[in-house]
Structure formats: structure tokens, C-alpha cells
Amino acid sequence: KKKALAKKKPKKKKIAKSTKKQASRKPPRPSDKKVNNRLINPAHYQAKKIKKVLEIKTIKEKKVKKIFNTKDYVVYPTHGVGLVVDIEKREVVGQKLEMYVIEFIKDKLILRVPVEKAKVLNLRKVSKPSRIQSVLKILSEKAKIKRTMWSRRAQEYDLKINSGDIQQIAEVVRDLNRANNQIEQSYSERQLFELSYDRFLNEVIAGLKISEDSAIKKIDKILGRDKLKKTPLALD
């Protein structure tokens, strides 16, 4: 009898321990999910999933169709005409990206533009000769100056210049041009004119494939600036 009682006692203890463990266990949360008979919080599970996706992305290389090639002249809206000197590969945030390396010789500037963002940034090819010839006609038209404050007009001109659109740039050149025997410009007017003139000139050179001197003669003849003497900038 004593032996039988001794055997029964440890059994009671085991049952008590298991009941305590069951009582200490927290009830499953409604957000928890059962995966392979194990409760997993979805936030933790999703974090692991994202980590795996990121690891796969680092291995994969993004392939985007190229619009431009090396030695192509392109127009970047806020900088004007530039030359694609190279297409290089760079790793950015675990992704291998292809980038256009664009050189702006006059500004002594080099920009790197991701191939996939070229359209978003309005990067375009230099206008064709037929397009340039039609836009040159705008320069011979009468200036269309709005009767508003100069500060407002200056903002409009600035937006047109940085739009990257050759037609809008030509309109600024036409409106701010001061031909032979005309009133001198203020300093701010002259600055905007020179900026628009320079952007337009560079596209004419690249598009028509002519020298800078012949392009200047062509534009100045239409604007009536061919006999204009160069004078220092007038102060406001």
C-alpha cells in the first residue's frame, strides 16, 4: 500500500504543474495567426516577408528602356542643352540603377539622371531642324507684353525659360529683345533676356549642327540686333 501511495504522489504533482502552465499561458490575440501550428503576430511575419523581398531586390537589376545614347544632345529644363557623355551603373539603396551622365560644358556642370526618371524630369532630345526653323519665325513677330507689374512678368518669363520648351523660350527672347534704336533694358530685364537667348542659341547650334558664330548671326538678323552696339548693363 505504501509503495502504491508513493507512486501516485508524483503523478498529482505533474498534473498540478501542467495546469499551472496552462493557466500562465496568455490567450491568443485576435491579430495572431497560426503558421505551422505556431502562433505568429502578422506584423512580425510581414517584417520578415519584407526583408526577404528587399534581399531579392538587391540581387535583381532594374531594366528600363533607354531613350538616349551616349553623344546625344539633350535638353534638361532648368539647365538647357547638355551632352550625354556616359551611361553608368550605380547602386542606390540596394538597387542597381542605370544613369545618364550629362555634361553642360558652358556651366562646367555634370548631372546624373536615372534612366527611369528621364520622362518624369522632362528630359528630351534636342529639337529637329524643321521644328527649329518654324520656331525661328516667332522671333520676327511683334512682342506681346502684358500690362502688368514687372515682378509678375519676370516670374512668368522665368517659368517659360525653365520649362525646357523651345517655343516658350523663343517667346521670351522676342518679348525682351531690344533691337536697334530701342529703349535700353533694366539690369533684371537684361539678365532674363541673356538667359533665354543663351538657352535658345545652344539648341539652335545643337539642332541645326552649325557653329556658334553662324547661329548668332542667324538669330540676330531676325531680331534686328545685327547692327546693335554692345553697351554695359543699365542699373535699375
pLDDT score at 107: 87
The 3-state DSSP class for residue 115 equals helix
Amino acid code (one letter) for 65: K
Pair 193, 176: CB distance under 8 Å:
yes
Distance separating alpha carbons of residues 220 and 119, to the nearest angstrom? 33
CA nearest neighbour of 96 among 124, 58, 67: 58
**pTM of the predicted structure, to 2 decimals:** 0.69
Query: What is the model's pLDDT at position 66?
Result: 82
Report pLDDT for 234. Answer: 45
Residue with cell 502578422: 42
Q: What pLDDT does residue 110 have?
A: 94
List for the chain the helix, strand, coil content (%; round to 5). 50, 20, 35
pLDDT tens for the 236 residues of the chain, in order: 544 545 555 554 444 444 544 555 656 555 555 555 555 555 555 556 655 555 544 445 556 778 899 999 999 999 999 999 999 998 877 788 899 999 998 888 999 999 999 999 999 999 999 999 999 999 999 988 888 899 999 999 999 999 999 999 999 999 999 866 566 778 899 999 999 999 999 999 999 999 999 999 999 999 988 766 554 444 44
DSSP tag of 162: T
Phi and psi, residue 177, nearest 5°: -70, 135
Residue 219: its pLDDT value, please? 95
- Structural domains of the chain sorted by starting position, each given as residue range(s) with its CATH number in brackets: 73-125 (2.40.10.170), 129-223 (1.20.58.1290)
- Residue 84 has phi, psi (to 5 degrees) of -75, 105
Dihedrals phi, psi of 223, to nearest 5 degrees: -80, -15
Distance CA 222, CA 179 (A): 10
SS3 211: coil
CA distance 83 to 81: 7
- pLDDT at residue 71, rounded to an integer: 93
Are the CB atoms for 95 and 57 separated by under 8 Å?
Answer: yes
Please check whether residue 75 is in contact with residue 124, taking contact to mean a CB–CB distance below 8 angstroms: yes
Q: Is 75 exposed, middle or buried (0-12, 13-18, 19+ CB in 10 A)?
A: buried
135 and 166 Cβ atoms separated by less than 8 Å:
yes
Task: Write out the three cell numbers for 144.
Answer: 506681346
3-class DSSP assignment, residue 186 = coil
